Structure 1
Amino acid sequence: MNRKLLYFTIYILAFAFSSQLYGQTISSGELKKLDSLPKLEQVKMLSAWCWKNREKNTDEAIQYGLKAIKIAKAEGYDKELATLYNYVGVLYQHYKYEIQKGISYYDLGLPLSLQVKDSVEIAYVYNNLGDAFYKIGNIPLAFEYAKKSMAIFERLHNAPGIAYSYINMGELSRINEKYNTALDYFRKAIALRQTFNDSTGIASANLEIARTLLLKGQTDSAMYYFRRSLEKHEQIKNKNYMAYSMQGMGDVFLRKAQYDSAYVYFKGALKLCRERKNPTGEIDSQLGMAKVLANTGKEKEGEQILDEALVNARKSKLTPNILKVYRAKGEFYHQLKEFRKSSGNYQNYVATYDSLFSALQYQTLSEIKDRFQMTEQLNRVHQDLKAKQKDQIYAIIIIVLLLVLSLVLVLRHRTVSRLSAELLQSNQSKDKILSIVSHDLVSSFNALLGTSELLMEDLDEGDMAGAKSNGRLIQQTSEETYRFISNLLTWARSQQHTIRLYKEEFDLSGLLTDVKSMFDNQARMKEIQFRVNAGAEVMVNADKNLLQIVLVNLLNNALKFTNPNGTIDLSIEMKEKQVKVSVKDNGVGISPERMAELFKSRTIDSLPGTGNEKGTGLGLFLCKEFVEMHGGEIHVNSAEGKGSEFWFTLPLA
């Protein structure tokens, strides 16, 4: 009853202010009045303002949300704080189109929702995470979170949540070309939303039905639903979805060779997307206009629009957008029989996809590791959730094993198909690699399986100290196995020269901070302190994914060979037209004999770390190759017992 009463209170508060708050700036007088209210009422009021202003005054809505977060954190209102993190995440994802920033707020809200046992909020966070990963192209993670969200909503009989889940599951079914299954999900969502009169949700479901019918080739039926979607979104003045509906109508006219009508709708959609500062919608509209121009003999205009779309895609920093443009340009030039330009754009598409695939692999494993650590902490705090936590641990272990096996298959395929010539020339290197795969990987699997069984026994017996110890061992083994396979796979690709630079302009200081945060937990476990001296932003023009691999390997080595209670200094220094990045530790150091063998591709022996961490010895060779691909240099200075400093240089943007 208390939970229902709380939700009812929040809903009444929101609706009481909705007519005067939606799309309006809050006056200074109202803000002053707010300060006189109790802290909890301030949080609830700001939360309502944040959500109600999300469509027309997004920036102000974010400010209200951040102000409420600051109060809730100071006062310890964990339940309200979890909801606010979710709200702000939605604002960044859906209204500012900063998906990664949205995910960061969902990640802050999820552990709080789990801690206060708010099942509804947990389900909504899972739902939002699934939608976010779908938008950035990580379909496996999107599917996992969509399933988790639906399971919780169905158990709670939460009709609005179930309807959201139907939409997500429909989109995922459609991307796997299961069109009839997708249509069933969308129609179920409409039927359910009609029971609680959700006109906005019904309109969006109509749009998804139209998109699915178009993919099935049923253009007339698709046009019917696109028109219904446009009418309903015009009524609620949702410009983004009006634009999406007009894009769909343009696609239908394009298929019917009614080019004038198609162009009008694409151009109208472009105008709406620019008003809402929606980069993805703007790009989709431009690609539709380019297709029309290619079919009407206006090649130069079409080429200009495609170039503008590519600029917009790069500004959006969303790799799926860049992929769409390269593919569209390839098709455009192929249609014009300019095969050289077509081939060049398809090659760019393949290179970009390869870069995205590597990033998504790392993202997926990082997400699994983060969720595992979160579950381990909650085991210690909430022993009454042991059954649920046990299921989560089993699921995580299964996913880890499946991902590791898939990486092994990828490694095997690439080794056989791309590296066969060089492997035949170097039997010694081949035998060494096979020895590592057969021994260390099997050992890691055995350690994971054995330790997970012990973890289950500890949980059944209520031995939380043993569970904590075994959980940390599983975490450490998983990290070592991932880095081992990642370095081995990347090394194999580099030997066949299949890695290509995909340069973009970005802040190197921000990347260094992001990579450092990946190792914060590991540093805390070894009681090692990071000291960062990065200064203001340093813009470089480089391949962000390859430099991330370099920094990950250097930081991992520093942690590996630094004793507990040690320090690691990370710094960025400007030198004329170059930037110097340094990773310095006060660990065990390197002998002169071993220093002479560093950065060599055929030296793959690796010493255990101060915490008995394992490695392959391939990491430093990869660092050298990737830095030199950028026109930079990498160096080392070390003395036994005094620590080591690795640094590399890059040209400035």
Structure 2
Amino acid sequence: MNTKVLLSQTDNIKTKTTNMLLNEYMEKKCEVNFDSRYCKSFNFYKNQEFDSCYVYSNSILNSLKSTKDKDVFNYILGVSALNKGLYKKALVFVKSISKDNPLFKDLKPLKLAEINLVTKSYKRSIEHYKQWEKNNSSTDIDLKIVAYHNFGLNYLHIKDYDNAKIFFSKKEEILNRKDTAEVISSKMELANAYYEQYLDNEAIPLFEEAYNLAKKFSNIKLKQNSAQNMAVIERNRKNYKESVIYYQEFIKWKDSLWNRDRIIELADRDKKLTVAQKDKEIAVQDEKLKRKEVVQRGLLFGASGLLLFIGALGFFYSKLRKQNTLITQQKEDLAIANKTKNYLFSVVSHDLRSPMNTIKYQHEQLKKHIETNNLEGIKEANNTAITVTESTSHLLNNVLHWSLEQSNQMVFAQKAYPLKPIVEHVLYDYENLIEANAIEISTNYIQNSIVNADRESIKIVLRNILDNAVKYMNGEGKITVEIGVDNENYSYVSIQDTGIGIPKDRLEKINALKGVSIDKIDRSEGVGLGLILCQTLVKKNKGILSFDSEVGKGTKVTIQLPIADE
């Protein structure tokens, strides 16, 4: 009997937020001096900056008088809430749209259907899609692709496979064959619908087509999903050897070790820069020798050319002095760059050796368990490999971010952002990890504010601090996240845990990290790359990072960020 194929791609709910009629309506409003706040909110919506869009749109909704304008902002708020995971609020906003507004004839039932699909109310979602299909007059191909995909996904979840195949087939009929990602996705959807009914003869060729297309395509997620599907199929057919080969390919895409290639690429670039700088030094020294020879020949001209010689000597001496100063500075920069490179290689070689050996061992164990059909052993080996891979991925991400920051390649744009949505977004990503470690997390939002910061770099800092809080929790414990305002210049976010704490001598070293650079850090003293990266990024945001800890009672980390000017 078949076991269901684990199709991650099929579970990917599609959405489409933009609409030509809605865009034209708002752009005309803005052309005739429509309130700039409205236009700003709409620009956030078009650029999919849903945190800012939600805040601005909420603040002006009640001031609107026109029903048409209220409908527009109810839709914008519904889309923003949906993307922020606020499903109940999204449903309230979208339901508030007028029934007779032609702008939302297609968009309202589609958005209600998407919200119900996300919340697993599949039958309600199907009713809304039927309403859309009945009244649909849109020529928007992308909108139809989204609708047919989600229509089929609903039927797949309620095991109505015939209807699922109908709508997945409709989607495939209108697909642009040049859109390889959609073609692969569509083939896997149809294949899964057949496979659920044990129609292997129809399903397996489609899975194989999707796998072969994905191998030639650049989308790593599709490569991973198609390899996973083939591994499950071969396992169900009891072709365990082939299944292991496919599963190993799946793990190769899963473990994110491609980041290592990025690091090596950066290291090679640093090496080339070092060689180029050395060549420049040699060229300068050669030039210096040539000029000395010129000076020596000038001495032979005798007393008649003495004044001219002295003047030329003074000119050359001044120029050589400037060049020597430049060479000295370049030499110091090269020394720091080389030490940074050596440190990064040290981190990679030291910290990757153990997890790589662990992953290799778990793969060997997995192979043995598959041969003996030990399902419990397979699950345990797989979970261990995934845990080690996630930890290794976090290390590689820190090395990559540090390398990008040091080489001035990290995108850094300070803007005005509400602090609370940034923190909530990071906490949402950590829900599963915190649950798995039996850790309680609580929030205390004393006062939200808008800070002037680069959002992505602050998220990197928060993730590192939360990772350390979980890592050093020592069993069950509690993490408390608090947001407030210190004074008129700074807001703060603090993360306090009940872990093992930090010894006093090490705490002093961590709090002393000012003007951080690799050449000032001794890794043997317990100050890792993660803390160096945090201190660097907070300082770049013109903020302050501080640690307070007591051994056996836990640690409190506070990030202070400048409040944005209104």
TM-score between the two structures when normalised by the length of structure 1: 0.45
Q: Does 1:147 align with 2:196?
A: no
Q: Does 1:477 align with 2:388?
A: yes
Q: Does 1:407 align with 2:262?
A: yes
Change in Cα spacing, 1:632 to 1:436, as seen in structure 2 (3 Å) is closer
5 Å-filtered alignment, 1:326-475, equals 393-399=247-253, 400=255, 403-417=258-272, 422=333, 424-425=335-336, 430-475=341-386
Q: Does 1:595 align with 2:507?
A: yes
Question: Contact 2:414/2:541 (CA < 8 Å) preserved in 1?
Answer: no
Distance 1:423 1:82 in 2: 61
Question: Contact 1:523/1:559 (CA < 8 Å) preserved in 2?
Answer: yes
Mean CA deviation greater in 458-467 or 427-436: 427-436
Distance 2:430 2:342 in 1: 32
Question: Contact 2:444/2:481 (CA < 8 Å) preserved in 1?
Answer: yes
Instruction: State the Cα deviation string for residues 498-523 of structure 1 (Å, max 9, x = none).
Output: 44521344332222122122222222
Question: Contact 2:448/2:484 (CA < 8 Å) preserved in 1?
Answer: no
Q: Does 1:59 align with 2:123?
A: no
Change in Cα spacing, 1:402 to 1:496, as seen in structure 2 (3 Å) is closer
Distance 1:521 1:604 in 2: 34
Distance 2:528 2:381 in 1: 27
Distance 2:468 2:502 in 1: 12
Pairwise CA distance, 1:440: 2.6
1:540 partner SS: strand
2:523 partner SS: coil
Change in Cα spacing, 1:636 to 1:58, as seen in structure 2 (3 Å) is same
Instruction: State the Cα deviation string for residues 469-514 of structure 1 (Å, max 9, x = none).
Output: 2122111221121111111122223334444521344332222122
Pairwise CA distance, 1:410: 3.2
Distance 1:122 1:487 in 2: 44
Pairwise CA distance, 1:647: 0.8
Change in Cα spacing, 1:64 to 1:81, as seen in structure 2 (3 Å) is closer
Aligned equivalent of 1:526, options 433, 437, 462:
437
Pairwise CA distance, 1:591: 0.9
Instruction: State the Cα deviation string for residues 317-336 of structure 1 (Å, max 9, x = none).
Output: xxxxxxxxxxxxxxxxxxxx
Question: Contact 1:604/1:618 (CA < 8 Å) preserved in 2?
Answer: no
Mean CA deviation greater in 540-549 or 55-64: 55-64
5 Å-filtered alignment, 1:66-465, equals 66=115, 73=121, 80=123, 146-151=183-188, 153=190, 393-399=247-253, 400=255, 403-417=258-272, 422=333, 424-425=335-336, 430-465=341-376
Question: Contact 1:119/1:152 (CA < 8 Å) preserved in 2?
Answer: no
Q: For residue 506 of structure 1, what is the amino acid of its counterpart?
A: Y
Instruction: State the Cα deviation string for residues 555-584 of structure 1 (Å, max 9, x = none).
Output: 111111112210111121123342101111
Instruction: State the Cα deviation string for residues 515-564 of structure 1 (Å, max 9, x = none).
Output: 12222222222211111223676433321211111111111111111122
Pairwise CA distance, 1:607: 9.0
Distance 2:371 2:126 in 1: 33
Ranges in structure 1 where 5+ consecutive residues have no aligned partner:
1-45, 177-359, 609-615
- Tell me which residue corresponds to 1:346: none
Q: For residue 507 of structure 2, what is the amino acid of its counterpart?
A: M
1:556 partner SS: helix
1:588 partner SS: coil
5 Å-filtered alignment, 1:629-648, equals 629-648=540-559
Mean CA deviation greater in 549-558 or 625-634: 625-634
Distance 1:158 1:555 in 2: 47
Aligned equivalent of 1:605, options 523, 534, 554:
523
- Tell me which residue corresponds to 1:511: 422
Question: Contact 1:114/1:122 (CA < 8 Å) preserved in 2?
Answer: no
Instruction: State the Cα deviation string for residues 202-225 of structure 1 (Å, max 9, x = none).
Output: xxxxxxxxxxxxxxxxxxxxxxxx
Q: For residue 548 of structure 1, what is the amino acid of its counterpart?
A: K
- Tell me which residue corresponds to 2:26: none
Distance 1:82 1:67 in 2: 5
Distance 1:149 1:635 in 2: 51
Instruction: State the Cα deviation string for residues 124-163 of structure 1 (Å, max 9, x = none).
Output: 89x99xx9xx9xxxx9xx966753543554785999xx9x
Pairwise CA distance, 1:444: 2.9
Distance 1:594 1:621 in 2: 14
- Tell me which residue corresponds to 1:562: 473
Q: Percent of aligned pairs with the same residue?
A: 21
Report the number of matched residues: 368
Distance 1:498 1:601 in 2: 17
- Tell me which residue corresponds to 2:482: 571
Q: For residue 184 of structure 2, what is the amino acid of its counterpart?
A: K
Q: Does 1:619 align with 2:530?
A: yes
- Tell me which residue corresponds to 1:286: none
Distance 2:124 2:245 in 1: 27
Asked which structure has the greater RCO (Cα within 8 Å, sep 6+), the reply is: 2
Distance 1:620 1:464 in 2: 40
Q: For residue 560 of structure 2, what is the amino acid of its counterpart?
A: T
Instruction: State the Cα deviation string for residues 152-179 of structure 1 (Å, max 9, x = none).
Output: 54785999xx9xx99xx99x99xx9xxx
Question: Contact 2:483/2:494 (CA < 8 Å) preserved in 1?
Answer: yes
Question: Contact 1:451/1:474 (CA < 8 Å) preserved in 2?
Answer: yes
Change in Cα spacing, 1:431 to 1:86, as seen in structure 2 (3 Å) is farther
Question: Contact 1:571/1:582 (CA < 8 Å) preserved in 2?
Answer: yes
Distance 2:246 2:159 in 1: 18
Let me know the Cα RMSD of the aligned residues: 5.5
Distance 2:153 2:358 in 1: 29
Change in Cα spacing, 1:423 to 1:581, as seen in structure 2 (3 Å) is farther
TM-score between the two structures when normalised by the length of structure 2: 0.51
Instruction: State the Cα deviation string for residues 249-290 of structure 1 (Å, max 9, x = none).
Output: xxxxxxxxxxxxxxxxxxxxxxxxxxxxxxxxxxxxxxxxxx
Ranges in structure 2 where 5+ consecutive residues have no aligned partner:
1-94, 195-200, 276-329
Question: Contact 1:123/1:149 (CA < 8 Å) preserved in 2?
Answer: no
Change in Cα spacing, 1:389 to 1:589, as seen in structure 2 (3 Å) is farther
Aligned equivalent of 1:551, options 442, 462, 465:
462
Distance 1:121 1:114 in 2: 9
Distance 1:457 1:115 in 2: 37
2:494 partner SS: strand
Distance 2:546 2:448 in 1: 24
Higher helix share: 1
Highest Rg: 1 or 2? 2
Change in Cα spacing, 1:552 to 1:392, as seen in structure 2 (3 Å) is farther
Pairwise CA distance, 1:368: 10
Change in Cα spacing, 1:84 to 1:479, as seen in structure 2 (3 Å) is farther
Distance 1:497 1:503 in 2: 15
Change in Cα spacing, 1:470 to 1:148, as seen in structure 2 (3 Å) is farther
Question: Contact 1:583/1:645 (CA < 8 Å) preserved in 2?
Answer: yes
Mean CA deviation greater in 631-640 or 590-599: 590-599
Pairwise CA distance, 1:65: 5.3
Pairwise CA distance, 1:643: 0.5
